[in-house]
Amino acid sequence: MLYKGIKMQVASRKIILILFHKYFENKDIDMFDVVEMRNQGFVVEVWVLVKLSYNYNIRKPFNCYEGNYVTEFKTFGQVEERISNMDMKAAFFILYPGEADDKISNSIRKSIVIHRGKYANYHYPLLLSVASDLKKNNENIFDVVKEYIFSWRKDKYNLYRDIKIFINTFLYPSTFEFFQGEVGYSRLKNKFLRLSKKCILLHSIDMDIYIRNQKRNTKNDLLKRRYAVFIDQYLEGHSDFKKEGIKSPILKKERYYRELNVFFNMIEKKYACEVVIALHPKAEYEDNPFQGRKMLFNQTHALIEKAILCILHDSTCYPFVLFLKKPYFLITTTDLKQDRLMDKCIMEYEKRGFSRVCDISLIDEERIKDYINEYNSNIHDLYVNYFMGPQNNSRLLNMSVICQLIKKKMEKW
C-alpha cells in the first residue's frame, strides 16, 4: 500500500558475477573492478560455484577474499533458489569464464533465462601457444559455414556437439559476449555469434591493469633501481594443475631452481642489475628458492613497466611485455623440455617466429646476448593488437564499458 507523499523505492540495480572454476581472490577485486561497478551505481554480488563445477575437493587459495558480497554455493538447488527469488528487472549476470560449456554452466544459463533474467559471457583470454593463427575472426557467414563443414567432415562427433550448442544458444541466449582482445573470438562455441552485435571487444586485463596503475601513479621502491624481472608461474604447485588433473612439469625442483638461479647470476653480471621475482598470484612458496632474491606479490605489471628486461616462460603476460616493447628472454629448462605439453607451448613461440627460446640448462655467459628478444614491429604489432585489444578506448576500463552497456539494456526493460 502506498501512502500520500511517499514514493515507491526502485530496486537497486545489481550485477551478479558468477565464477564457475575459481575462487574470488584479493586480486580479483581489481581484475573484475568491483569498485567501478559500485561507482556506476550497481550493487555487487559474487557467486562462487567451484564446488559445483568439480567432483573433487579444490583447496582454497590462501588469498581468498572473504567479503560479505561473496557467496560460496555447495549445491545447484541453492543457486536455483537464489535466482528464482531475484527481481530480474534489476539484476544482470556476468558468467566467468564465458566459454564454460558443462552441465553446471549450461544449467545456470537455462535457469537465468527461464526466470526472465539476462546474462553475459565474459571470456578468458588465450595464450599464444593454444590460440589459433593470427587472423581476423569476424568472418562473413560463408567463411563460418565452410569452417563448420570442414570440422564435420573431419569428425562426425563435431556435428552432434555443434547441434547441441546451436540449440542451447538459441533457447538460452546471452545478451552480450565479452572478449579480451580479438583472440577471444575463437572462444565462441557457436561460431555464428561472431557475426552478432552482441559480441563486444574489450582490451585485455593486462591493459586494464596498466590503465589503472597509470591513474593511481603506482610506485614501488624497486622502481628507482636497475633491475630485470622474472615473471614467475609457480610451476612447482600451481592449483590449476590439480584442477585439470595433470602433474606439475617440474619433476626435480632442486634442478629447476638451480638452473634459474645460475641464469639469473649471468643476467645480473652481464647487465649490471639485480633480478627480482614477480610472484604468480597463486604462489605459496614455503621458503625462497631464488637464492634470497626479492619476491613481490601483485606487482607484476608495475615491475614489467620499469624493468630493463623481462624473463619468462609461456606466460599470459607476454602480450604486455610486447606492448611495452621490453627486451626479454623466453626461457626453457631441463624439466620443461622433458614435459611434452610445456615444451610444445614454449617452442610454439619460436615456431611462429615471435621469439627465440633460450635453453638455460645449456647457455653460457658468452652466448647469452644471442638469445635476447627485441620488439620488432613487423613481427609483433599484429600480435599485440590481436591479444591486447582495441586502443581507441584505452583510457576506459573494461568494467566502465560493460556497466554502460548493461545500463542501456536495463533502461529498455
**Pairwise pLDDT comparison (390 vs 84), residue with the higher score:** 84
Alpha-carbon gap, residue 260 to 251, rounded angstroms: 15
CB 91 within 8 A of CB 84: no
- pLDDT reported for residue 249: 85
H helices present in 281-397, as ranges = 300-306, 318-323, 334-338, 340-351, 377-388
For residue 36, the surrounding DSSP H or E stretch is: helix 34-39
Extract the runs of DSSP E, i.e. beta strands, from 22-151.
43-48, 70-72, 91-96, 119-122
- pLDDT reported for residue 135: 54
Distances (CA, A) of 386 to 131, 355, 358: 11, 17, 25
Q: What is the mean pLDDT of the chain?
A: 87
Average pLDDT in the 76-97 region?
95
Average pLDDT in the 236-248 region?
71
**Pairwise pLDDT comparison (390 vs 143), residue with the higher score:** 143
Residue 225 cell numbers, joined: 633501481
The model's pTM: 0.86
Is residue 13 very low, low, confident or very high in pLDDT (cuts 50, 70, 90)? Answer: very high
pLDDT tens-digit series, residues 177-224? 999 888 888 788 898 888 888 999 898 888 888 888 777 765 656 667
Assess whether the previous peptide bond of 281 is cis (omega < 30° from 0): no
- pLDDT reported for residue 400: 93
* Residue 8 pLDDT greater than 50, yes or no: no
Alpha-carbon gap, residue 128 to 224, rounded angstroms: 32
* Residue 9 pLDDT greater than 80, yes or no: no
Beta-carbon neighbour count of residue 90 at 10 Å?
15
Average pLDDT in the 227-231 region?
97
- Least confident range from 163-167, 248-252, 270-274, 309-313: namely 248-252
Is residue 316 very low, low, confident or very high in pLDDT (cuts 50, 70, 90)? Answer: confident
Is residue 379 very low, low, confident or very high in pLDDT (cuts 50, 70, 90)? Answer: confident
- pLDDT reported for residue 7: 35
* Residue 82 pLDDT greater than 90, yes or no: yes
**Please, is 160 exposed, middle or buried when counting C-beta atoms within 10 Å of its C-beta (0-12, 13-18, 19+)?**
exposed
CB 336 within 8 A of CB 347: no
What angle (nearest 5°) sits at the alpha carbon of residue 264, between those of residues 263 and 268?
120
Average pLDDT in the 2-15 region?
54
